[in-house]
């Protein structure tokens, strides 16, 4: 299923969400301007490498943040930013800009730490915003379970637009990440280049903490 849009419309302009998308895009444009050797050096310097994080945490902790804004190619950046565009505005609307920014960054941290802990022997750099975005998806599941997501769904080899309940769409995505994560731990999916457990960690963090960041609803009564 490929998400196209959701049925919810935010009440406010999602300034922080747009800023996050813009920053990720600007960093990616800088990446593609580099030579292949310079790009490799950039990713190895600012990407999160689990083995280095546990050996030198006092100097490598910054890569937990910088890795969130690096991407490995056009599909990587476009797919991540498209999902953030669809789901992030409503979560910012519910939390407010400042709280949303803190929540987004903490989701990315939780995602990176879980992936690094489970694959602490990995020397491959971890990059991408998908762990933080997974936190947004987890928050969306709890906040707007009755929303619907218009998606491209293959039916008899023909893609059809279907409005899928957000609960089904997000749980299907989460289970697929969890299944792939277990395969990676067993050595069957280790070469995929995808940080499955970062997705799982971010999603669970978002589900568990969205209530802490959400603004309290104000109710008005007419007398």
Structure tokens at 40: 């490799």
CATH code, domain with 49: 1.20.1540.10
Q: Can you tell me the distance from the alpha carbon of 156 to that of 159, in angstroms, rounded to the nearest whole number?
A: 8
* Domain span at 189: 2-213
Q: Can you tell me the distance from the alpha carbon of 96 to that of 91, in angstroms, rounded to the nearest whole number?
A: 8
Stretch among 17-26, 37-46, 48-57, 154-163 having the lowest mean pLDDT: 154-163
Residue 91 has pLDDT above 80, yes or no: yes
Stretch among 6-20, 91-105, 109-123, 206-220 having the lowest mean pLDDT: 206-220
Residue 181 has pLDDT above 90, yes or no: no
DSSP 28-96: HHHHHTS-HHHHHHHHHHHSB-HHHHHH-HHHHTTHHHHGGG--SSHHHHHHHHHHHHHHHHHHHHHH-
Confidence of residue 217 (pLDDT cuts 50, 70, 90): low
223 in a domain, yes or no? no
219 in a domain, yes or no? no
Residue-level pLDDT at 158: 79
128 in a domain, yes or no? yes
220 in a domain, yes or no? no
134 in a domain, yes or no? yes
How many domains are there within the chain? 1
Stretch among 23-27, 107-111, 122-126, 198-202 having the lowest mean pLDDT: 122-126
86 in a domain, yes or no? yes
Residue 222 has pLDDT above 90, yes or no: no
Inter-residue contact 136 to 107 (CB < 8 Å):
yes
Provide the CA 176 distance to its chain's centre, in angstroms: 15
Structure tokens at 208: 């568990």
Confidence of residue 206 (pLDDT cuts 50, 70, 90): very high
Give residues with Cβ within 8 angstroms of 21, minimum separation 6: 81, 84, 85, 88
CA distances to 87, 100, 169 from 145, rounded to whole Å, are 12, 19, 10
166 in a domain, yes or no? yes
141 in a domain, yes or no? yes
Q: Closest Cα partner for 13 from 90, 78, 80? A: 90
What's the DSSP call for residue 126?
Answer: B
**Residue 48's beta-bridge partner residues?**
126
Q: Can you tell me the distance from the alpha carbon of 214 to that of 172, in angstroms, rounded to the nearest whole number?
A: 25
Inter-residue contact 47 to 63 (CB < 8 Å):
yes
- With a threshold of 0.85, does the pTM exceed it? yes
Segment 110-128 mean pLDDT: 90
């Amino acid at each position: 299923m490929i998400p196209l849009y959701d049925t919810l419309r935010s009440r406010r302009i999602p300034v922080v969400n747009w800023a996050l998308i813009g920053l990720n895009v600007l960093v990616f444009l800088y990446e593609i301007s580099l030579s292949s050797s310079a790009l490799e050096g950039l990713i190895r310097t600012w990407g999160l490498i689990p083995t280095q994080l546990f050996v030198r945490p006092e100097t490598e902790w910054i890569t937990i943040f910088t890795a969130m804004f690096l991407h490995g190619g056009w599909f990587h950046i476009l797919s991540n930013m498209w999902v953030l565009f669809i789901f992030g505005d409503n979560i910012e609307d519910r939390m407010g800009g400042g709280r949303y920014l803190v929540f987004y960054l903490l989701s990315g941290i939780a995602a990176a730490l879980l992936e690094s802990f489970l694959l602490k022997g990995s020397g491959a750099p971890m990059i991408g915003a998908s762990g933080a975005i997974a936190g947004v998806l987890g928050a969306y599941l709890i906040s707007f379970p009755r929303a619907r997501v218009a998606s491209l769904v293959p039916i008899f080899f023909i893609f059809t637009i279907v409005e899928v309940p957000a609960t089904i769409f997000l749980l299907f995505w989460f289970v697929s990440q969890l299944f792939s994560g277990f395969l990676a731990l067993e050595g069957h999916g280790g070469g995929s280049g995808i940080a499955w457990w970062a997705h799982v960690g971010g999603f669970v963090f978002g589900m568990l903490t969205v209530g802490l960041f959400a603004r309290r609803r104000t109710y008005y009564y007419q007398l």
